Amino acid sequence: MKIKYELISQDKKARRGLLHTNHGTVETPMFMPVGTLANVKMLTPEEIKEVGSGVILSNTYHLWLRPDEDVVAKAGGLHKFMNYDGPILTDSGGFQVFSLAKNKKKDITEEGVHFKSHIDGKSLFLTPELSMEIQNKLDSDIAMSFDECIPYPATYEYTKESTERTLRWAKRGKDSFNNPNQSLFGIVQGGAYPKLRKYSAEKTVEMDFDGYSIGGTSVGEDKKTMYEMVDNAIKYLPEDKPRYLMGVGEPEDLLEGVERGVDMFDCVLPTRLARHANAFTPYGKINLKNAKYKEDFTPISDTCDCYTCKHYTKAYLRHLFVAKEGLGGRLLSIHNIRFLIKMTEDMRNAISEGNFIEYKEQFLEKYKN
């Protein structure tokens, strides 16, 4: 079946809903952990489920290069290949083409993008049709349109040309899409230009996708500009379909996005921070390598219900990082992902109770001190 979005309650623009998929129903707003190479770094699928994850994200570009989509298809699809029975979303590979291409050299044409593999320098060519073919074989619940992630800053002329090409790519991808049990999201581009955001959103919606994402944010712009990008796109998206803000994972950005009506977020940030000993707490991020935690026998947060906070202290975690033991990154990844997922759970409750703004203000008052 195709996904279906069901609105449960609303507090101004903030929305609480249900996303019905082939692999279960999940609540929104939600944070999606990133499992780029068919795994969330250092964690098992069981651990990901335990922290309350619904949808997780895997990446078309990386799985195309290794092991390749045919291997995944022979395994029975991505869910069976990685042993995850919840919903999976696959990114189109577009962002990785533009961020990881060998030496950053690429040739963007109307047909697609010529670039070199970041692994071995091999020449590759990715088109909207090939991205759809790969994702159809991966058999995720949600596939993404192939787009160009516009850099920031970019001129109006470049942004307009790229936005129009992304729209043509979206139509080509949708026309070639060939998995009746998979849903397809369109991606709104337009850079930092309100007229182009409006144009991209309206034209993308005309193609009638199963959901819509706001792309081209969190690429180096300041926070004010990012929020304006969201504002200039989301008001043109339909209310009966899910809205996804791509690549965003800072707690304050989740709050700002939900306030504007965003339903879905993803980011590598919680696991990346964890591998460098950084932890989310209600009072901001901390680095557990700091000497002051050497004899701190309290959990990262006494209000956190994750496995790590229930069983381990900051002193022990600091010891693991100082001793370069991999367990430190695993335990901290569990905590950081749970922190963001618990945030979305709390936001859902606040929306239902009609006090989302109060929740946001109270969270930020503590978090920024």
Rounded (5°) CA angle 73-138-88: 135
The per-residue DSSP string of 296-317 comes to: --S-S-TT--SHHHHH--HHHH
DSSP H/E element including 183: strand 183-188
Closest Cα to residue 139, out of 97, 177, 186?
177
- Lookup: tokens for 110: 């109307």
Selecting among 91, 147, 253, 263, the annotated active-site residue is: 91
* pLDDT value of residue 101: 60
* pLDDT value of residue 322: 98
* pLDDT value of residue 368: 87
Q: 266 an active-site residue?
A: yes
* pLDDT value of residue 93: 87
* pLDDT value of residue 205: 98
* pLDDT value of residue 102: 58
Calpha distance 358→65 (Å, rounded): 46
Per-residue pLDDT of the chain (369 residues; tens, 9 = 90+): 899 999 999 999 999 999 999 999 999 999 999 999 999 999 999 999 999 999 999 999 999 999 999 999 999 999 999 999 999 999 998 888 777 765 556 789 999 999 888 899 899 999 999 999 999 999 999 999 999 999 899 999 999 999 999 999 999 999 999 999 999 999 999 999 999 999 999 999 999 999 999 999 999 999 999 999 999 999 999 999 999 999 999 999 999 999 999 999 999 999 999 999 999 999 999 999 999 999 999 999 999 999 999 999 999 999 999 999 999 999 999 999 999 999 999 999 999 999 999 999 999 999 986
Calpha distance 256→235 (Å, rounded): 15
Strand arrangement of the beta sheet that strand 24-28 belongs to: 4-11, 14-21, 24-28
Q: 302 an active-site residue?
A: no
- Lookup: tokens for 255: 């709050």
Contact by Cβ (8 Å): 147, 158:
no
Give the pairing type, strands 14-21 and 24-28.
antiparallel
Contacts of 257 (CB under 8 A, 6+ apart): 29, 230, 245, 248, 265
* pLDDT value of residue 94: 84
Q: What is the pTM of this model?
A: 0.97
All structural domains of the chain: 4-267 (3.20.20.105), 268-369 (no CATH)
* pLDDT value of residue 118: 87
- Lookup: tokens for 290: 């700091």
Give the 3-state secondary structure of residue 59.
strand
* pLDDT value of residue 103: 59
Calpha distance 229→225 (Å, rounded): 6
Q: Helix 356-367 and helix 327-353: axis angle, to 10°?
A: 150
Calpha distance 334→53 (Å, rounded): 11
Contact by Cβ (8 Å): 34, 40:
yes
Kindly report the number of other CB atoms within 10 A of residue 295's CB atom.
Answer: 10
Selecting among 11, 141, 266, 346, the annotated active-site residue is: 266
